[in-house]
Amino acid sequence: MGIKLGEERVRRKRSRSKEVVLEGGERGYFMLMCIALVSRVAVASPVRASRSVQSDYELCTTSARSLLTTLKRVLEKPEKMGSNTLFHGFNCTDLGAVMNPNTQTASVCQPTQEVTCSDQKTSPFSQNKCLQNIANDLDYHRSMLAEYVSTLDQKSNSESVKELNSITQSIRNLQQSCKLLPEPESSENKWTPTSSFEDRKDLCKQLKGFQVRTITINRALGYICAGE
């Protein structure tokens, strides 16, 4: 009888010890699961820009695309026979593009990517220099267009004035809506008019160069606003 009571006590002790072990194991497992879930949330939830910042970025990229669309429309507009259109008397598509000589937007806004041993890309891209060059480009071409329009007879060249003013307005929209852009620096080489025919040819070249530059501006602003 005594032996049976002793065995029963041993069984109860073993049963209790198993319950303690199981309870401790479940707690440990629960803690590990919590840590894992918190870690996954932390990794899967990167810090996002605020809605106001995202809205500012969207205005930058949208206005830049609008400027490019306007330039393309003006440059690719077909000439009408007998009309006093912007590039009458010559074929603008046959002329080369002339870039703003005061800026280096193409080089400073092009991030050079290098691949390290860990396969991580690094870039010496300077956002401040890029944005400053973009601001200078926009101001140069806005001033050039304003100067050119001032030399035209507003009545007889009303169609040309309308086309050029649409470009100027698109530039202003980008300057005013994109808060990333700094104040433009003064240009050393400013456009000056010479003669009517040569001015129109030079305008064609300048606008073609500005179109190419605006493609670079769109890519740069897209890169910056994406936070890459």
The pLDDT tens digits of the residues spanning 100-109 come to: 999 999 999 9
Maximal CA-CA distance, the chain: 127
Q: Under a CB-based contact definition with an 8 Å cutoff, are residues 121 and 114 in contact?
A: yes
CA–CA distance, 92 with 77 (Å, rounded to integer): 10
Q: What is the pTM of this model?
A: 0.72
Q: Under a CB-based contact definition with an 8 Å cutoff, are residues 106 and 213 in contact?
A: yes
Q: What is the pLDDT of residue 50?
A: 61
Q: What is the pLDDT of residue 66?
A: 98
Q: What is the pLDDT of residue 144?
A: 95
Q: What is the pLDDT of residue 89?
A: 85
- For 31, counting Cβ atoms within 10 Å of its Cβ (0-12 exposed, 13-18 middle, 19+ buried), the class is exposed
Long-range contacts at 6-9 (CB < 8 A, ≥ 24 apart): none
CA–CA distance, 180 with 127 (Å, rounded to integer): 10
Q: What is the pLDDT of residue 196?
A: 86
Instruction: Please count the CA atoms within 13 angstroms of the CA of 127 that sit on its side-chain side.
Output: 10
Q: What is the mean pLDDT of each run of 10 residues along the chain (228 residues)?
A: 49 49 46 46 44 83 98 86 76 93 93 52 77 97 95 88 96 97 88 87 96 97 87
Scored b (16 or more CB within 10 A) or e, 34-66 reads eeeeeeeeeeeeeeeeeeeeeebbebbbebbbe
